[in-house]
Homo-oligomer: A and B are copies of this chain.
């Protein structure tokens, strides 16, 4: 991890879940040692992050990096000449686009370093649901008038068959400041189930909605869909459709009722 002598470098540093206090000591050191620091602002958004406080902490300017800057390869032009640090919400490699970025960096012979941090993937265990009982995860996407994908629902169906929990991420368009609400997401699931008449997801289905996990404002709500839909949970949120519950999982969820 120590390579202060490197002249070219791309480091992806995870920021964790909420604000600038979630950076690790290793990540902070990495950012402070960089020539240029960017904040990747399109795959996720830390709702508690204050850019000015982040800059004070890192002791240098932090520039915003949008999708075009990252995916066009412009970030790699910098990293081919200098030590470049890209700060990313959560754990950096969870966003699929960053695997591609790392690959392109390697092709150019640019050393890459990843500093991991908390991700919603493991943090959801704060619901009492056990990590090894989650099946595949999926994202509930914004529907358009003529584009209503349902593949995320099929993921839940498969997981349910196996007794597994399903973690649903909710779509976001960070650049438009648009974040899917829990209510919108549940509405889509209800519509798909009603359309298919499969009875798998109804207003009486019990779900877990988790909002702003890892923050002072965090909310973990458990209950039937029709009740959760009356709750104004602020973004970012995720939804979990539980599978078969272990007794401790059940007790934990019921302690939230």
Contacts and interface: CB of A to CB of B under 8 A. Distances in A.
Interface string A237-257: 000000000001101100100
A72 interface: no
A131 interface: yes
A153 to B, nearest CB: 14
A122 B131 contact: no
A200 interface: no
A125 B94 contact: yes
Interface string A98-121: 011011001000000011111101
A179 to B, nearest CB: 19
Contacts of A214: 114-116
Given A16-B24, A25-B23, A162-B136, A123 B249 contact: no
Contacts of A126: 93, 114, 116
A134 B159 CA distance: 12
B91 A125 contact: yes
Contact of A2 (B28, B118, B216): B216
Interface residues of A, number: 59
A41 interface: no
Nearest to A243: B136
A117 B114 contact: no
A164 interface: yes
A70 interface: no
A147 interface: no
B118 A118 contact: yes
A182 interface: no
A251 B214 CA distance: 34
B103 A251 contact: yes
A121 B118 contact: no
A17 interface: yes
A251 B104 CA distance: 11
Nearest to A12: B126
Contacts of A255: 103, 106
A50 interface: no
A137 interface: yes
Contacts of A137: 131-132
A130 B28 contact: no
Given A96-B131, A117-B118, 11 more contacts: A14-B118, A23-B25, A24-B25, A91-B125, A93-B126, A94-B125, A99-B125, A114-B126, A116-B213, A131-B137, A133-B136
